[in-house]
Amino acid sequence: MIICIDVGNTRTKVAVYENGTLQQLVITNNEKLVKNISRQIQGIENCADIILSSVGNLSENTIKSLKTLGNLIIVDHHSSIPFKNLYSTPHTLGIDRIVLAAGATLKYPNQNRLVIDAGTCITYDYINKADQYHGGAISPGIGLRYKSLNDYTANLPLEKISELHPYVGTSTSTSIQSGVLNGVIAEIEAFIDHFEHLDENLTVILTGGNSEFLVNRLKNTIFANPNFLLESLFLLHKHIVSND
């Protein structure tokens, strides 16, 4: 059993893999994390393997408790990775971006890859077919764009994702929807177009909380997997153990 934990900015996901297959996916919070994992490993004979990626705040007590539940690997900037990191400030590269780049490298070998994570922020990460990580971009996610319009203006309401987002908004609400949603879609397509001009044979992976909303609205051919970070943790666990 391999338990993959993704501690994000807004929520924590736990994936349980057995014999290489995803058996269960749990969305929880940090306070209930240890209890949920304890429930998952009840009755198993062998010690569970646990791999953790965190961009959120996880207390030392939680980490100590996780160590009592199994063989814990915490992904950090010193972990073994399957690509060469060419980022000019490698120690500042987010752990989530490292894991996603590793997953793309391991799942799609010998390809140019662009990983787009549409969550709290939208991140873009480019790894070429020589397994060299070059970097990418970070921009505000959909929720942050709505919230900033509400927080930093006097009269604009706080909106949520809507199926209706025509280019010409006929009210304040639909104008916000147009600006935020069409803006995000145009941004993502522009990044994909840029990297496709650099490398025609480009594999694009779209993940994150808003990936399912976006996938059918993008004109480009992409692989959509909202839980790609968890799958990447599973793949990275095997790589780390093999290279330990």
Question: Which residues participate in catalysis according to the annotation?
Answer: 96
Strands 21-28 and 12-18: antiparallel
DSSP letter at 30 equals G
Residue by residue, DSSP assigns 160-223 as ---S---SS-SSHHHHHHIIIIIHHHHHHHHHHHHHHHH-SSEEEEEESTTHHHHHTT-SS--E
Looking at this protein, which amino acid is placed at residue 207?
A: T
- Extract the tokens encoding 66: 């996780």
Dist CA 78 CA 244 (whole Å)? 12
Report yes or no: 3 and 48 within 8 Å, Cβ to Cβ. yes
How buried is residue 114: exposed, middle or buried, by Cβ count under 10 Å (0-12/13-18/19+)?
buried
Dist CA 91 CA 165 (whole Å)? 39
